[in-house]
Chain A
Amino acid sequence: MSNENTQEITNPGPDALDVRGRGDGEHPASPADTPEQLSRRKFLSQISLALGGVGAVVVATPIVTFIIGPLFSKTPDTWRAVGAVDSFPVGQTQEVSFEDASPLPWAGTTAKTASWLRREDTNTFTAFAVNCTHLGCPVSWVPGGQLFLCPCHGGVYYADGAVAAGPPPLPLYRYPTRIRDGQVEIQALGTPIPTE
């Protein structure tokens, strides 16, 4: 220990800060360097770089897995009841909301998903995703005009979800629905992602 300290003191001090001339890519070589020493030096630099690379991979693997994990998580098959069948008059469209398939405990209000539910006849329900198929903004239902209007870029849909006007490339997305024990249930599939 004391030996190392002594060596540090013998450092030449501020004058050594002259960095000009460095960075030319050459290892300082003295005439005393033997071929063995040179090949040893080459080996040492290669092993150091390799060790650094291995270390980086070891650290990066859990980080990358942790961050891109959501890409591979499967949506559990979850159905949510949104109300009694009789509470929806035939031919009407109204907003319902349900809890996401597996919300995190701190999701707060964002744990919910809304849907425009339309009762076609006694036993048929259509649950439209509220997201415009253009870029996902929430469409509003205008009962008088029997239209869905998007507030962002002017997309318009008819009551059956077909595009009436504006930029949307597709009709409104639909969530699967079913009736269980007198309740209308919607499959909680989250936000529809338009894929080309």
Chain B
Amino acid sequence: MKALRAIVGWFDDRTGLISATKPILEHKVPYTNWKTGWWYVFGSAVLFAFLIQVVTGIALGTSYVASAGEAYQSLKFITNDAPLGGLLRGMHNWGASAMVLLIGAHALHVFLIGSYKFPREMNWLTGVVLLGTTLAMGFTGQLLRWDQTAYWSIIVGADQAARAPFVGEGLARFILAGNTVGGATLSRFFAFHVFFIPGIIFIFIGFHLYLVIRNGVSEPPRRGEAVDPKTYRQRYHELLEKSGVPFWPDAAWRDAVGAIVLVVVIVVLSIVIGPPELGKPPDPTILQAYPRPDWYFLWYFSVLALLPSKAEPFVIIFGPVLVGVALFVLPIVANKGERSPLRRPWAMGFVLILVVMIGTLWIVGEQAPWSPNLQAKVLPANLVNSSDLTVQNGAKLFNVKGCQYCHAIEGYGGARGPSLTSVGSRLSHEQIVTRIANGGNGMPAYSNLKPDELNALVTFLETRKTVYDNKQGQAPGRLSVAWEPLGQWLPKRLF
């Protein structure tokens, strides 16, 4: 013990690190109780999630081969053959999910309690950079999982960038690292995911933490205590003098609890659910693909499907730009006044709308009712329920001609168009013929059907008469198609 103390003493004398860190660790922070204190854990939890990403990422990096031709094999090796490789991939995946989720929660908490106001504007701005880089890590990380989905996601990303005015094509070529996804593409994304973006994150975490120490952890807001730049620092100082507690260990213990919960959750998820499935190989000639972004971008995938076509070129480019600008401008234009969310109904309302909106888009994105269901199976005979050969032939054509990819009959088929379970009850013979031949409302025209094919199809559809089908009326437009699954949960009269 004595020897240890001597060593520590010598180390501190020669480096000064311990005497320099101690006051930082023990700097005073506002007292928080059970109700307010736990919310402050999100920030440190993001940091711990990042550290987990760094160490698991380095470990994966020892086996991953950043070569377009070999990355897929190396991922298979890591997942199936390397000792605990699957667990490690799982941890890196769930750690990423945790980091995105926690940085979102941290940002919302800071926004709700008005911590971004004076003098912590720069805390917020550095945080915005960290939010953006974290999402960039999520996107590039999904691409390093070099499977079919990664391949098509790069093209989808490049095509979005291509919509930018003037620089669009250059930007797209930059993302592809050439005129198509190839050998250079993966190496480049690897460099960005592993060196460039983490470098920026390290710098900005340092900056962010320095600002946290310099400006102090914000006190839990109280109604009526508005932030006035002239008096705030003085008041904060007096608050710390009066009731402040040392960060270590009075506040830090909650961060420690948060960190261990985080680690346990990540490891348990990695064991129980495991790493994300490696899809088909990144082969551009395999066209049976269903590219979907990872969950944190799934809501945006829905936005891209639901946008009216005319708004699209503007939203794709100016949407993200506007969000970025709004986040940067917020602490500049709104740096004083009430911090309590109870006195900031607009802030509360905004967060509520944001959460409901993204949540809804998530659910819709998961179901993707706008996508044709290319795996729809032929209708079973008992469902067709007819001895008439024309009807049976029509049921077959319903699948062969691709009707079923978009229209379901008693649940068999896609949700792109309206269900046809009871179409015979609501449309006349002529209406069905017209709709098939001319299309409309998002349906292609089937003008190339032979007369006997058309006849069989219509005869079959006319037998679809039931009373319990709720999806009434004509084919809905794009928006209402997407909202249909929600309609199953909400009161029917809304839809």
Chain A residues within 8 Å of B, Cβ to Cβ: 14, 17, 67-68, 70-71, 73, 75, 95, 97, 100-101, 103-114, 130-131, 134-140, 142, 144-147, 149-154, 156, 158, 164-167, 169, 189-191, 193-196
Contact = CB atoms under 8 A, between A and B. Distances in A.
Contacts, number: 199
Interface majority SS (helix, strand, loop, mixed), chain A: loop
B68 A194 contact: no
Contacts of A97: 284-285
Contact of A14 (B13, B188, B442): B13
A45 B94 CA distance: 49
B186 to A, nearest CB: 8
A139 B290 CA distance: 10
Contacts of A70: 173-174, 176-178, 184
A190 B178 contact: yes
B219 interface: no
Nearest to B162: A193
A95 B285 contact: yes
B163 A194 contact: yes
Given A104-B183, A107-B183, A110-B68, A165 B439 contact: yes
B446 interface: yes
Interface of B: 13, 16, 19-20, 67-70, 72, 151-152, 155-156, 158-160, 162-163, 165, 168-170, 172-174, 176-185, 188, 281-285, 287-291, 301, 304-305, 307, 309, 312-313, 370-372, 374, 397, 399-403, 405, 416, 439, 442-446, 448, 478
11 contacts: A14-B13, A73-B178, A108-B69, A110-B182, A112-B285, A114-B287, A142-B402, A144-B402, A151-B371, A156-B444, A167-B304
Contact of B312 (A108, A139, A156, A167): A167
- Sorted nearest first, the 4 A-B pairs with minimum C-beta distance are A108-B69, A104-B183, A145-B402, A164-B444
Contact of B289 (A68, A138, A190, A195): A138
A111 to B, nearest CB: 6
A142 B374 CA distance: 9
Contacts of A136: 152, 155-156, 158-159
A81 to B, nearest CB: 16
A141 to B, nearest CB: 8
Given A154-B416, A164-B445, A140 B287 contact: yes
Contact of B183 (A110, A152, A166, A191): A110
Given A135-B304, A145-B446, A164-B439, A109 B179 contact: no
Contact of B284 (A104, A113, A149, A169): A113
B305 A154 contact: yes
Given A156-B444, A164-B444, A191 B181 contact: yes
A156 B184 CA distance: 32
A113 B151 CA distance: 12
Contacts of A145: 401-403, 405, 444, 446
Given A104-B182, A111-B183, A166-B370, A195 B174 contact: no
Contact of A149 (B67, B184, B305, B405): B405
Contacts of A142: 374, 402, 405
A110 B309 contact: no
A100 B444 contact: no
Contact of B155 (A114, A165, A191): A191
Nearest to B151: A110
B170 to A, nearest CB: 5
B179 A114 contact: no
Nearest to A114: B285
B174, B371, B439 — which one has the most chain A CB atoms within 10 A of its CB? B371
Given A154-B370, A154-B371, A135 B159 contact: yes
Given A97-B285, A106-B70, A152 B181 contact: no
B403 A17 contact: no
A149 B372 contact: yes
A165 B440 CA distance: 8
Given A71-B173, A135-B304, A145-B401, A140 B281 contact: no
A14, A17, A110, A169 — which one has the most chain B CB atoms within 10 A of its CB? A110
Contact of B185 (A101, A110, A169): A110
A172 B250 CA distance: 63
Contacts of A139: 287
Given A71-B173, A106-B70, A136-B156, 14 more contacts: A71-B174, A108-B70, A109-B69, A110-B283, A130-B284, A135-B155, A137-B155, A144-B401, A149-B372, A164-B439, A164-B444, A164-B445, A165-B442, A167-B478
Contact of A106 (B173, B183, B309): B183
Contacts of A152: 152, 156, 291, 301, 305, 371
B421 to A, nearest CB: 20
Contact of A110 (B69, B173, B446): B69
B414 to A, nearest CB: 9
Contacts of B439: 164-165
A164 B13 CA distance: 77
Given A106-B69, A135-B160, A147 B416 contact: no
A79 B284 CA distance: 18
B285 A135 contact: no
A151 to B, nearest CB: 5
A169 B287 contact: no
B178 A195 contact: no
Contacts of B313: 196
Contacts of A194: 159, 162-163
Nearest to B292: A152
A154 B301 CA distance: 12
A195 B185 contact: no
B179 A165 contact: no
Contact of A196 (B67, B165, B400): B165
B372 to A, nearest CB: 5
A140 B169 contact: no
B72, B176, B287 — which one has the most chain A CB atoms within 10 A of its CB? B287
B227 to A, nearest CB: 25
